Every structure is written in C-alpha cells, then in structure tokens.
Structure 1
Amino acid sequence: MTTPLVLDPAEAAARLPELTVVDVRTPGEHAAGHLPGALNIPLDRIRTALPELRRAAERGELLLVCASGARSDTARKLLAEADVPAASLAGGTGAWAGEGRELHRPVACDTRARWSMERQVRLTAGAAVLLGLLLALFVHPAFQILSAGIAGGLVVSAVTDTCGMAALLGRLPHNRPRPADLAATLAALRSG
C-alpha cells in the first residue's frame, strides 16, 4: 500500500496495529500522553534515527505524531527527502483526543517537567514581554523593543505555523531524551 501523506485520527485508529507510530514531540510531552505504542524520537533527532526509521518503513508504514500535526509534517518532509515514506497524523494528539480516543499516560517515575511545549512557549513569551515592559518602565524605554520583538515573533509563528521559541526550548535538558531512552527507542525500531 502506498503511504498517504496524512491520516486523520479515524484512519489512524483503524490502522494502528499495522503502523509504527513515532512521536516527534519532546520526551516531556510524550510522557504526558501519547498514542498507544508510540515511540519517542524528538523532531531534532529524526536525522540521527534515519537508518532505524528506514528499516522500520521497509517492514511497514510509519505514522508520525506531534501535538498539532505541524512538527510531524516537518518530520515527514525530512524523511521524504531521504526517500523514507511516512504519514503524519492530521491534527496530532489534540485531534486524536478531541475525537474521544485515549492517550497513553504511563505511570511516571521520571520527575522531569511534564509541561507541553505550547505551555512552555506561553510561559517564556509572557515572561519576556513582562520583563521588557518592566525594564522599559524602570530602566530605559528602549527595553520596549524586547516586548515588541516577542510580539512580532508570535505573529510570524502563527502565520508560518512554525515556532522558533519552541525549537530553542526543545533543546533544554528537561526536553531532551536521555541518551539511554533514545538508544532504547532506536533499538526497539531496529528489532521491529
């Protein structure tokens, strides 16, 4: 069967047993709730995992998942450039849960932050805007540029459906997979 570019949640649910599901969100987002059986390979690690993903695609179809579908579509395009067929889940885990499907939430013994990337971006953007306004009020009016820059970045983010701040926050230690976790995920992909 030819891999479609996008599967809606109903199609994905019907085909879930035959798909290799790869969640491209951060480990904290993945741990907060993911599709049953989803393996976690953050978007910025997709190229590192390319050999294992290629082998998995040869055994069956890949379904890439994120919160809204934007990151998984980016991952799908990266894989397509490497001739690895994959589909993206339309609307991501938000659409999946929105249709009443359960997200797997393992019992966590991991104490890392479980904030979604969207929540981390809102906190960071809000804190930067507030800091810019306070510095402009108490130090020098030129600090208004900080608040204006964040506002402009949010507009660009909405128009382009990308988020530079999320990319930066994704590099923080609490959003990174532990080397052992990533190695175990890649081993699981190798073994099928």
Structure 2
Amino acid sequence: MASETLTVTALDAQTLRDRMDKHEDLTVIDVRSAAEFETMHIRGSYNVPLPLLSEHTDELVERLGARVVLVCQSGVRAEQARQRLGAAGIDSALVLTGGVPGFAAAGGDVVRGAQRWDLERQVRMAAGSLVLGALLAGKFISPRLRLLAGAIGAGLTFSAATNTCAMGKALSKMPWNKTAAEPTADSAIRQLPAASA
C-alpha cells in the first residue's frame, strides 16, 4: 500500500509564537488591507494586501524565501494568497489558523493602532441590515422589496461557493476603511527581507 504525502498548509497560533520566540527565519505576510493592518497586526509582519499580492505574485516570489506564513483576519484571504504563491512556485507557505485575532488571543505579540471594525464584521452588518430592511420594507411598503433580501442571500451563497466577497471589496473602498495609506507594489516588495540563498 503506497503512503500518501500529506502537505501541511496550516499553522496554529501557539506554534507560530514558539517559532517567533526562537527567532526562526520566518517572513510573516499580512494580506489584509492597510486599515485592518493598522488596527492590529503581528509585530514584525509585513503588510502586502491580497489585491497587491495577486497583481505582483511573481515579483514577490523572487523576493520571498521558502519560510512564509500568511495571515489575515480569519484565514480566508491568507489561503487565497497561499494558493497564488503556490502556483508561482512557493508551495511551502503556511496559513495562520484563527488569523491575527487568534494570534492575539493566544498571547502573541501584536501592535494595536486605531480601532475600527474589521472588514468581515462590516460585511455581516451590511448584509444583515440590508436583509432586515428589505423584509420590513416588504411588509410595510411593497412585497416586491422582499426580493432584495433574496438577492442578498443569493450573493452570500455565491460568495461562500466561490470564496470571494464583492460586498467586502466594495466596503474596503469606503472612506472609513481608507484612513491608512495602502502600500504600493514597490513599497510592499521593498520592505520584505531578501530571500536567503
């Protein structure tokens, strides 16, 4: 019976803490927006938002070594980044389970800045408010307005099936999410340590 090789792609918060405490040569990449990064991030991590990573994957691969840990709020965007890096040649990147909040809850060293709701919480609030508003408007104004609740439900289902979030992308462009300057490709890539030979 042939044994299958199991590829490990996840890393728990305690293991990351231990590796960082031992000063292992890790590059921690935070793929959240600059505003989310500013709110709270792992000390020593580098902010390369997912859209930027997606557009400049090959340039990042040239700069990164093999010991990459990807983080976001929950792991969804970090997993998307891992898949992109894997397709470009870095198949050893790991995703932090539980994201930055999980790392902080495990006693990890984080930097806290201006507090704002994370993007995933904003999406839940917007979607819930739209559904509730559509149902109330359907009851008191016109039953046809209930279709909006159905459209939001369909959008959330599509979002889950495709692991994308159009509402999240739209909300990330709102003024309250733009308080921090988004890094440019040049600044994001230049900040990363050069890969060791």
TM-score, normalised by the number of residues in structure 2: 0.77
Cα distance 1:51–1:156, how it changes in 2: closer, same or farther (>3 A)?
closer
How many residues of Structure 1 are paired with residues of Structure 2 in the alignment?
A: 184
**1:173 Cα deviation after fit:** 5.4
Please state if 1:50 is matched with 2:96.
no
Tell me the equivalent position of 2:82.
Answer: 76
**1:80 Cα deviation after fit:** 0.6
**1:48 Cα deviation after fit:** 2.6
Matched letter for residue 43 of structure 2: P
Please state if 1:25 is matched with 2:27.
no
**1:47 Cα deviation after fit:** 2.2
Matched letter for residue 8 of structure 1: D
Equivalent of 1:128 in 124, 127, 130:
130
CA distance in 2, matches of 1:102, 1:144: 46
CA distance in 1, matches of 2:84, 2:58: 13
Higher helix share: 1
- Asked which structure has the greater CA Rg, the reply is 2
Give the SS at the match of 1:101: coil
- Per-residue CA deviations over 1:123-181 (Å, capped at 9, x if unaligned) read 21122123312432343211101112323444565677654422332344554673556
Tell me the equivalent position of 2:100.
Answer: 93
- Per-residue CA deviations over 1:20-53 (Å, capped at 9, x if unaligned) read 1111112121111111111111112212332442
Cα distance 1:84–1:37, how it changes in 2: closer, same or farther (>3 A)?
same
Equivalent of 1:35 in 37, 42, 50:
42
Where does the alignment leave 5 or more consecutive residues of structure 2 unmatched? 1-6
CA distance in 2, matches of 1:49, 1:189: 13
Please state if 1:151 is matched with 2:157.
no
Tell me the equivalent position of 1:187.
Answer: 190
Matched letter for residue 148 of structure 2: L
**1:79 Cα deviation after fit:** 0.9
Matched letter for residue 188 of structure 1: Q
Please state if 1:105 is matched with 2:112.
yes
